[in-house]
Amino acid sequence: MVFTSAVFAALLVVAQATSVPRTADPLETIELAAPDGSIKAHYIPWGASTTNLWVKDKNNNFRDILLGFDNKTWYQDLAKGRDFFSPVVGRYANRIKNGTFTIPPSFDATGPGKKYHIVENENNGTDTLHGGTIGYDQRPWTVTKQTSNSVAFTLLDPNGFQGFPGDVLATVEYTLNSKATLDISMFAVADQLTPIMLSTHNYWNLDAYNDPTNNLVSHVLQAQSPKIVATNGNLIPTGGFVEVEGTPLDFRTAKSVGASINATAPHQYCGTGCTGFDNCFIYDQTNKKEPVVSMWSTTSGIKLDVVTDQVALQVYTCNGIFNASNPIPRKADQGGPNAYYEDHSCIVLEQQGYIDAVNNPQWGYNPIYGPLRDYEWHSTYTFSVVKD
C-alpha cells in the first residue's frame, strides 16, 4: 500500500488526536491469549513492549521465556539501564556510523546528498544505537486496537526528533494464534524521505532460567545465513562481509549456541575484547513460507521457528548484560529477584534489514522510505516441543 500526501495528512490528524494512550498509564498490562490457550503474553504501551510470553515445555508446563522486569516502572527507569527488554526499536534499529547519513545514501555519508546528523548515544558519542537517546523503546505508544488475542500500538514520530527528517506514523500489531503462534506486523508511513528500520528486541531464554547452567549450551540454533556484515571493534559496518564457512559463525547446520561462544574469543565478533556473538547475519534467501531461523532447548524442549520477510538477523548473546554494580534481577518466575541475568544466559534474535545500510549503498539494500514507499515488516514465531 502506498500513501499519498493527502492520505498521510489525514492519518496524521488521527494520530495527533489519539496521541495520548487510551489509558493514562503507559505501563498498563494488556493480557492476551491464543484462542486455544496454547500461548499467552503481556504487553505494555511503553515501547510497545512484550513483558511476558508463556508457552508450554515438554512436560506441558507453561514457562515465561522472555527476560524483563516484574516491576514495570523499571522499563522507564534509565537509572536501571536501557536494556531494550522486548520493545520495538526504531526509528532506525541497530547502529548508524557517526550518527550521520545522506539522502540519497552514500558510503560513510561522503556523497553529494543532503546530510543529516542524528543524536549519538553509544561508544562515547561516535554512533547512534536504536534511534538515539529517546528511541521508539522509550516512548508511550497509543493502543489503537485490542481483542482477546491481539493488540495494536501506534506511534507518531515527529519531524526532527532525534535529528531524523520527516513525520513517521508507525504501527505494530501483535496477534496470538492457535498452535502457539505469535504474528507480529509492523507498518510505517512517512511524509518525507527518511531512513526507517524497525525490529522487535526480544531477549529469549527457552528454559525460563530453569537450568542450573544458564549458559546457552542447551540452546541449539540453526540459521540460513552464509555471511555476516563485517564490523569494526565498535560493531560499525566496514562495508564488506565475512563468510561464515569454517568459523564459529556457521549456524547453517544446527549447533549449540553456548558451546560456540568460547570459540569466538580470538575473533572478537561482538566487538573489541568481547566474547560471544553480536552480528548481523544475512539470510541466503527470503522465504515467506518456511522458517529461516530455528532455535530450541534440549532442556525444556521448547522450539522456536521464525518465518519472516526480513533479509537479515541480528544475533546477540547477552555478552554484557551483567553489571556487578547494577545487576538486573530476574523475574520471579525465572528464579528472581535474588538471582540475576548473567552474561551469555540469553539470546536476542532481531529480524531486520542490513545494519547501517544508510551508509552502505553498495549493498543494494534501500533503507529510505517516504511518500511513495511505505515500510512493512512481518514475522511469525511458532512454538512447538522437541521430545527427547
SS3 content of the chain, % helix, strand, coil (to 5): 10, 40, 50
* Cell numbers describing residue 383: 512454538
d(CA 368, CA 111): 15
Burial 7-27 (b: 16+ CB within 10 A, else e): ebeebbeebeeeeebeeeebb
The residues assigned a catalytic role are 201, 350
d(CA 298, CA 10): 51
Which distant-in-sequence residues (6+ apart) come within 8 Å of 342 by Cβ? Answer: 214, 318, 321, 322
| DSSP conformation letters of 185-211 | EEEEEESS-EE-B-EE--EE-TTTT-S
Dihedral angle of Cα 206, 197, 72, 60, to the nearest 10 degrees: -20
